[in-house]
Structure formats: structure tokens, C-alpha cells
Amino acid sequence: VGPSSGDELGWTLDRHILERQRRTPGASGDFTGLFQAIALAGRVIASKVAKAGLADVLGATGAVNVQGETVQKLDELANKILVRCVEAGGHVCVMASEEDETTIPVPPQYPQGKYVLMFDPLDGSSNIDVNVSIGTIFSIHRRVTASGPGTAQDCLQAGHKQVAAGYIIYGSSTMLVYTTGDGVHGFTLDPLVGEFFLSHENLRMPTRGNTYSINEGNRSKWTPGVTEWIDTLKSDKAPGGKPYGMRYVGSLVADFHRTLLRGGVFAYPGDRKAPEGKLRLLYECSPMAFIAEAAGGAASTGTQRVLDVEPTALHQRVPLFIGSKEDVADAERFVAKDA
Ligand code: AHG
Ligand code: MN
Ligand code: MN
Ligand code: MN
């Protein structure tokens, strides 16, 4: 639900969520509360990012996370901010983060809620220190265990069961984009007011684009199918009869955001060294897939719809081909040759 044309003034994210709550029979306000906590965390992280070079948040912590990656100060800070903003609200029973090996419990002094929150607190770590767009990704499920503290079982749910998913992009402006499965909406942060205002209502992804987005430095490790696919996109045999352009930021949030608005395809394929690819299913691929489909796009592992993958581990990785429907279908056709 959104403003009628000319009535956009004052459509904050809070109002958007509240209107949704009013239309949902039996809604308790829990989802609204959780969303407000996430948006608050996003605003706090955005303010740190905006003055990163002055706020002593650049550089590495010296630690290595469960993924085997060097933890940046902002990875750690964003992780803390999210947990602190959400844990006390009584809306979630368990959380999971890229930066934590095991699930994050809700401290016993707070009520256990009915939702499960998983997130990539800071996406695009390699871009923090060079002032390039980074983001936060989140995925919300309903709990499946009956009561008490949530467990890993609550986290290991297929993506099509998501209640909501979204991301915040800390770009030239800060935006929050989310879906509950019916329509994708974008809100831009007015940094002086400190509020997200509706700026992109009901985003639709073009069914075909003219850019591809992939880390071409991995080419020597690609499978023949992926190599042939990209070679085709770079040639006159590309759909449309002329070569696609190439765009690659190296932050999934930024590469996906562009793909959502402009169409085209982003890929992090499995390769000969890493058959599962790099990106994590539960808090990177699955939420982005939920958004892509809700905007008329598609997301595939190359052989399967991302939202149908039954997760078996918290930090499981899957290959990702995401974007315009027809471009993702083409990718699947080429990947099938590798079988
Ligand atoms: P994160 O910073 O959360 O660990 O995620 C990094 C991911 C993702 O943002 C991006 O799409 C990808 O890594 C880039 O990987 P390459 O540097 O291998 O291209
Ligand atoms: Mn990381
Ligand atoms: Mn990430
Ligand atoms: Mn991250």
C-alpha cells in the first residue's frame, strides 16, 4: 500500500509498515516492531559509514571469522548494532549472522518472539576502506519451534518461507529496499531528518537487461558452461545482437541494487576450485532471491530455484545467478551443459 500520486509527502517507512499491519488480519504489531528495530540499526550504521574515516571504523580488527575472512572493524560494529537494536524487542527468538559461527540467542532477560532474523551485517567488506557502496542484508522467517529460545532449526528454512527480506545500501544515498513477497519498495534516508521516506514504490525488474556482473578475474577457474555463457554475452551473439556491458562493484548489495533497477544479471557461479561459489544462502542469496522474484525477476543456483534450496548449514554457500528473468533463464541453459 502506498500514497496516491501527489501524496508522497510524509510516507515514511514506519507509515508504510503500519499500513501493512492494518491490512493484515490478526497482526500483532510484532513484525512492525522488528522492522523498526532493523531500520534503526540501518540508520545507526549509515551514520557510522558516512563518517567512517573520522570515526575510527576503517581497517581490520585482526580477527578471522567463521568464513575464513579478515574481519573489518565495520563488520564487527554493524553486527553489534544489529544485535543490540533487535534483541530486546521481544520480536525474535533467535538470530544468525555472517559474523557468528553459531546462532545468536536472545538474552534470557528478554521475551522470546515469534520471528527469526538472519543477516549479513556489512556486505562488501573489501569496499569499506575505499569509500565504495556497501550494505546490510536481512531475512525474516517465522519460527518453527514451538516455544522457548529459538534454535538452528528455526534458521534452516527454505527461502520461499521468508516472511520478509530486504537490504540497506550505504551508497551515494542510503536506501532501504524490502519486500514481504508482494511488491518491492525502496525508501531513501533523509540524513537530516533521520527517516527513510518512500522513494521507489513497487519496483519491477526489467525482464531482460543489457549488462552482466561477475568477477571476471575468476575466469580461469570457471566451468565450460559459464565461460561459454559469458563469452556469448560479450559477443554479437548476445540477446539483442550486441554485446552486453559489464558492471561489477564487488558488493552484492550494490551489484544487486543496480540489477534490480536496470535489469541484467549478476552471477557468482560455482567454479572448479569452489563448486558452491562464494555467497551464503541464508543471509545473502535467499533474501536477494526473495526480492528478485517479488520484483518479477529470478534467482537460480544454475540448476535450481534459490528459494527452493533446503538449507543444511547456517553458513552454507550456493552458486548465484540473479536478475532479469530471461537473462537468468539463459544462464541456466548454459550451466546445464556442465552436467
Ligand atoms: P561480505 O563482505 O559480506 O563478506 O560479502 C562479500 C561478497 C559480496 O558482497 C560480493 O558480491 C562478493 O563477496 C565479491 O567477491 P569477490 O571479491 O570474490 O568478487
Ligand atoms: Mn564477510
Ligand atoms: Mn556479504
Ligand atoms: Mn558481510
Annotated binding site: 98, 120, 122-126, 215, 248, 278, 284
With 0-12 / 13-18 / 19 or more C-beta atoms within 10 angstroms meaning exposed / middle / buried, residue 205 is: buried
Residue 94 has pLDDT above 70, yes or no: yes
Q: Tell me the percentage of the chain whose pLDDT exceeds 70.
A: 97
For residue 298 the three cell numbers come to 529470478
- Going from the Cα of 125 to the center of ligand 3, the distance in angstroms, rounded, reads 7
Q: Residue 97 CA: which ligand is closest?
A: 4
Q: What is the pLDDT of residues 8-41, one digit of tens each?
A: 677 999 999 999 899 989 888 999 999 999 999 9
Angle at 291 between CA 142 and CA 124, to 5 degrees: 100
What is the ipTM, given to two decimal places?
0.97
pLDDT of 6 over the 60 cut: no
pLDDT in tens, 120-171: 999 999 999 999 999 999 999 999 999 999 999 999 999 999 999 999 999 9
Q: How far is the CA of 248 from the centre of ligand 1 (A)?
A: 11
What would the grid cell of residue 279 be?
555467497
Q: Which three cell numbers stand for residue 144?
A: 518453527
Q: Is 278 in the pocket of ligand 1 (CB under 6 A)?
A: yes
The mean pLDDT value for 86-114 works out to 97
124 lines ligand 1 (CB under 6 A): yes
Q: Give the DSSP letter of residue 282.
A: I
- Read off the amino acid at residue 75: D
Q: Where would I find the H helices in the chain?
A: 13-23, 30-50, 73-87, 152-155, 224-233, 252-262, 286-294, 325-336
Is the Cβ atom of 75 under 6 angstroms away from ligand 1? no
pLDDT digits (tens, 9 = 90+) for 240-297: 999 999 999 999 999 999 999 999 999 999 999 999 999 999 999 999 999 999 999 9
Pairing status of strand 184-190 against strand 174-179: antiparallel
Entry pTM: 0.97
Rounded distance between C-alpha atoms, residue 199 and residue 69, angstroms: 35
